[in-house]
Structure 1
Amino acid sequence: MSIGMQCLLLLIVMVIIMTLGWRWQKRRSNAGIVDVLWSIGVGLGAVLMALMSDGAALPRSLGAVFGAAWAARLALHLWRRVSHEHEDGRYRQLRRHWRGNQTKFFLFFQFQAALVVLFSLPFAAVARNPTSQITPALFVGAVIWAIAILGETVADRQLTRFRQNPAHSGKTCREGLWRYSRHPNYFFEWLHWFAYVALAWGSSLAWLAWSGPIVMYIFLRWISGITFTEAQAVRHRGDDYREYQRTTSMLIPWFPKSTTSDKGLT
């Protein structure tokens, strides 16, 4: 099946799924479900691309398993938050900005359906890789994937544990990986997409795998990730978060700068 037909089939499936998700948020006033469904959709895209392509079995299997496992972990993590917490501040702000307009929310959900197709293109590249044996590129891809999943899982658990402590209400998490990056979960999310660049090495569509890390960085940096998350954090935590912004790397983990209080002691 051509990549165009694969994308069309995936889009139709995701339009249906996102429409059901839009109805769910309409009843519960919680648009966070869109993130859960987006994650599931990308995992579904990884599997569909593997099943409907003609590459070698090894890279196709790796792409499907890695994509589905990553998506399942992320979807489950997000679902725990959506099902047990109030609507994420980003979506509350969007709801206020749109004044609860459900037509705009519907279009937003359908836009996410299209994004699922876009983020499934790296899996299409992997699924057309003719490599039938383990190569350095496949090994590197597997190592990148393992490091990224481990890092993202650790970052998510550290933040969840911090938020569950009532004493930390209104404070900024600086524990573990969060000491070295303001968004370690986003960093490892971004890193994860480089795994498919390696897995697609030798594919006729290898260049298409770069859409994953490039588009993900654009979204995380300027569109739906860091910008909205940090604006919400500044509104809620004020100077504490501004100090965190001053001392801590935005995305790529690095050693923190000295704090204002540290300077006062020197």
Structure 2
Amino acid sequence: MTYPVLLLLLAAIFTLAMSLAWAVAQATRQSGWIDSIWSFTLGGAGLFAALAPIWPDGGTTPRQWLVAGLVALWALRLGGHIAGRTRGGGDDPRYAHLRALWGDKAASELFLFLQIQALSGFLLALAVLAAARNPAPGINAMDLAGAVLLVSCILGEAVSDAQLARFRRDPANRGKVCDVGLWGLSRHPNYFFQWLGWFGYVVIGLQGLNAYPWGLVTLVGPAFMYALLVHLSGIPPLEAHMMRSRGDAFRAYQQRVSAFLPWRPQPKKAL
């Protein structure tokens, strides 16, 4: 196939997958499945983008397999975590709030919202594509550095998710704000590692930039993920929910702990 055909297929994959996510959310009333389906779709689309045969390119390179493995590992970890959290749970409070705001138009508005998410997934898949198709020979130190960075961030995100889950399982913490472990350094350490991991594709894609200017496309990954997490569908709606559910406790947490980048927290004020 050619690159234009590959791009059209990637767009179709995301459009159909997020339409399916809409149908699942409507049927189950559990919107958490949306993010799980989105994560698995990005992983599958990333695999396809990395490994699909492109005319007149030759066979599959070690770099393509490396990038394919990285995006698959990321998707399995994140998608599996969200699916496990969603199974048997209630509706995602962010989506529940949107449904309430949309009122009678909730179904149609959610469908349009998820098609925007399809576009976001497509843009991120382009970063994976650009990294995988870098024609630099063999696997070198830059590839390994990018892989180590991304795997480290996957582990960091997993640790932060595990710390939050353990905090919530303790009945003594009911109604409290998690500020233990990584959550004492950042209010959203999982989002931080999610964003930082996309620089792994940048490290892989930008090598040999003079011969491969398309490597600049990898910058779309961290740039768009930062906008998505910090300004759009990540921190703003989640913190609005936390303010509604935790009130002064979360307000005090906001004053002490960095919103995104891990940093030394301010001391707790005496009561």
Please say whether Structure 1 and Structure 2 have the same fold, judged by a TM-score greater than 0.5.
Answer: yes
Q: Which residue is equivalent to 1:93?
A: 97
Q: Report whether the alignment pairs 1:66 with 2:99.
A: no
Where do residues 93-132 of structure 1 align in structure 2 (5 Å cutoff)? 93-100=97-104, 101-132=106-137
Q: Which residue is equivalent to 2:222?
A: 213
Q: Which residue is equivalent to 1:156?
A: 161
Q: Which residue is equivalent to 1:20?
A: 20
Say whether the 8 Å CA contact 1:129–1:204 is kept in structure 2.
no
Deviation at 1:12, TM superposition (A): 1.3
- Which of 76, 79, 83 is the aligned partner of 2:87? 83
Q: Report whether the alignment pairs 1:145 with 2:147.
A: no
How many angstroms apart in 1 are the aligned matches of 2:48 and 2:72? 10
Deviation at 1:26, TM superposition (A): 1.0
Say whether the 8 Å CA contact 1:138–1:198 is kept in structure 2.
yes
Q: Report whether the alignment pairs 1:171 with 2:176.
A: yes
Q: Which residue is equivalent to 2:29?
A: 29
Q: Which residue is equivalent to 2:264?
A: 255
Deviation at 1:123, TM superposition (A): 1.1
RMSD: 1.5
Deviation at 1:180, TM superposition (A): 0.6
Q: Which residue is equivalent to 1:186?
A: 191
Report SS of the residue matched to 2:260.
Answer: coil
Report SS of the residue matched to 1:255.
Answer: coil
Q: Which residue is equivalent to 1:3?
A: 3
Once the two structures are superposed, residues 66-114 of structure 1 have per-residue CA deviations (whole angstroms, 9 ceiling, x without a partner) of 0011011100000011112111111110010011521111112222222
- Which of 222, 225, 244 is the aligned partner of 2:253? 244
Deviation at 1:209, TM superposition (A): 0.1
Deviation at 1:47, TM superposition (A): 0.7
Report SS of the residue matched to 1:260.
Answer: coil
TM-score scaled to structure 1, two decimals?
0.94
Identical aligned residues as a percent: 39
Q: Which residue is equivalent to 2:44?
A: 44
Task: Give the count of matched residue pairs.
Answer: 262
How many angstroms apart in 1 are the aligned matches of 2:19 and 2:234? 23
Say whether the 8 Å CA contact 2:70–2:151 is kept in structure 1.
no
Say whether the 8 Å CA contact 1:45–1:123 is kept in structure 2.
no
Deviation at 1:37, TM superposition (A): 1.1
Gaps of 5+ in 1: none
How many angstroms apart in 1 are the aligned matches of 2:28 and 2:103? 16
Whichever residue aligns with residue 160 of structure 1, its letter is A
Report SS of the residue matched to 1:42.
Answer: helix
How many angstroms apart in 2 are the aligned matches of 1:217 and 1:50? 23
Deviation at 1:146, TM superposition (A): 1.9
Structure 1, 102-111 or 117-126: larger mean CA deviation: 102-111
How many angstroms apart in 2 are the aligned matches of 1:19 and 1:210? 28
TM-score scaled to structure 2, two decimals?
0.92
Deviation at 1:124, TM superposition (A): 1.2
How many angstroms apart in 2 are the aligned matches of 1:23 and 1:139? 40
Once the two structures are superposed, residues 141-172 of structure 1 have per-residue CA deviations (whole angstroms, 9 ceiling, x without a partner) of 01211210110010000001111122211110
Structure 1, 89-98 or 203-212: larger mean CA deviation: 203-212
Structure 1, 131-140 or 62-71: larger mean CA deviation: 131-140
Say whether the 8 Å CA contact 1:125–1:204 is kept in structure 2.
no
Whichever residue aligns with residue 192 of structure 1, its letter is G
Gaps of 5+ in 2: none
